Amino acid sequence: MTPPSELSATWSRITGALQTIMSPEVYGLWFPKFSLLEDSGKTLTLVCDDPMAALWVENSYTPELKQAAMLALGTERQVKFICADEVASITSSESQPQKAPSRTKTPQVQDSPAAPAKKQRTPGARASLNDLYTFDSFVVYEDSRFAYKAGLSIAQSERALFNPLFLYGKSGVGKTHLLQAIGHEVLHQDSSANVVYVTGEQFANEFIDASRTQNGQSFAKLRRKYRKADVLLVDDVQFISGKEKTVEEFLHTFDELFHAHKTIVICADAAACDISNLDSRLAARLESGLTVELNLPDDEARLEILRSKRDRAGMNVSDEILEFLACRIQKSVRRLEGALLRVATFTSLSGDMPDIAKIEQLLRDILREENSRILTVDSIQKRVADFYELKVSDLTGKRRPNSIAFPRQIAMYLSRRLTECSLKDIGHAFGGRDHGTVIHANKLVASRMEEDVRVRDIVLRLEEDLKD
């Protein structure tokens, strides 16, 4: 380990460089809260006792930190963040007798018997997990409760009743947070568990790199990394869709882990049936376990999320402002949290509590995006009905001649693509049909669009008209 005095000196040089590239107000607000925990020569690990400050700095000032490190140290550094309470937790656990492992471990094969000992890292850091994404920091609302409980169950069970767990939903609903929270909980139960977190894009890139080297050792190392996992967490799996050889490798990895009773949790931005060009074998595997959809929170849930974030971080933001944000920002929880952080930063720097007019000015870019046209199932039904010279009641009714059934299926397809509504809500809007009917409509329309250029042109024209 690097001596504390050397770390302190290094951090002083970096912060000195930081103060030359940012305002004193911004520096004074955030960076005195941080200290340098470790410098590996390639990565700086910063520690902070304020989780929200760590999240804000990671999202907003990582480029400036890298620039300052280059100026101060002369070489490029990556930057990682860790919370002070986790450092204390790890230190405490190392001095306590180890708990009996709760999972059957896959023996880990060393790359070389003479490999030098590596510097100690926290279990979460070894698994590439964000320290802020835990179950404790996840705000549970009605539409996320089932996903939360499913995630907690699979993390705490040696052999869950379901495997894999497949979570899907639009961007910004908390999938990545839950996915990484599962990893943290597994490591909390047993710090020696081999938890591997990877995005679909990262998996594809690693496979492509191994293919280009045409080196058997590269493939062996890649397969050892993923197929020796006790828990495999895959985010944004839709990125491997259409990449035939990558999918083949992923299927073999999935099967080996599944048959060894290892835990597999996968996230995507859509249901398996709605992911474009997804291999049918992979779709079948995703649907073979427990599938849970996460939907955007309603007004009350958004307000609860904001209150929780404010209270945990000790932000000086009034309830009136939280209610305004919850009402006006509906499309993304991530955007909602970003707006809160922006307001909190303003109040800290100015010392004043802004009024609503000032908030609107401060968040004008976010509010402009939110105010862009919001499509509803009703508006889609009306546009499709007008195009086919039908009544909306024809699309929502029980009649099934092809002159009505196919326009109805197109309207369902567009509702799935252009709105945030769940399969259940879309089915309900079309005369109380179930989610299976909506899934069938999506598959049928997608298939017809591939086979018939006229159908594709009609659907694309309707989509463009609705977006204008």
**Rounded CA separation 126/116 (Å):** 17
Q: pLDDT by residue (tens digit) across 80-121?
A: 888 776 665 545 555 555 555 556 666 555 554 444 444 455
**pLDDT of res. 97:** 54
Contact 1, 91 (CB under 8 A): no
pLDDT at 112: 47
Distance (Å, rounded) from C-alpha 364 to C-alpha 140? 29
Q: Say if residues 261 and 159 touch (Cβ distance below 8 Å).
A: yes
Rounded-to-integer distance, Cα 419 and Cα 248, Å:
32
Q: Is the alpha carbon torsion for 224, 236, 133, 159 positive or negative?
A: negative
CA 399 vs CA 393, 396, 404, 432, 445: distances in Å: 10, 9, 7, 13, 19
- Residue 116 has a pLDDT of 45
pLDDT at position 124 is: 62
Q: CA–CA separation, 467 vs 444, rounded Å?
A: 23
Determine the pLDDT at residue 14. Answer: 93
Round to whole Å and give the CA distance between 231 and 194: 6
Q: Which two tokens stand for residue 86?
A: 């986790």
Distance CA 109, CA 99 (A): 23
Q: What pLDDT does residue 182 have? A: 96
What DSSP designation does 267 have?
E
Q: Residue ranges for the binding site?
A: 172, 174-176
Q: Which two tokens stand for residue 383?
A: 């546009």
194 and 224 Cβ atoms separated by less than 8 Å: no
In the chain, the domains with their CATH numbers are 4-84 (3.30.300.180), 135-293 (3.40.50.300), 299-371 (1.10.8.60), 377-467 (1.10.1750.10)
- What pLDDT, on the 0 to 100 scale, is given for residue 119? 45
Q: Are 80 and 65 in contact (CB under 8 A)?
A: no
Q: Give the tokens for residue 129.
A: 């997990």
Please report the pLDDT score of residue 117 as a whole number. 46
Q: What is the pLDDT of residue 310?
A: 87
Q: What is the DSSP letter of 106?
A: P
- Side chain identity at 104, as an amino acid letter? T
Distance CA 158, CA 127 (A): 19
Neighbours of 399 (CB within 10 A): 11
> Distance between CA 14 and CA 46 in Å, rounded?
12
Q: Tell me the residue type at 448.
A: R
Residues in the annotated binding site for ATP:
172, 174-176
SS3 category, 196: strand
For the chain, which residues score pLDDT lower than 70?
A: 1, 52, 85-126, 214-216, 371-374, 468
What is the number of H-type helices and E-type strands within the chain? 22, 8
pLDDT at site 312 = 80
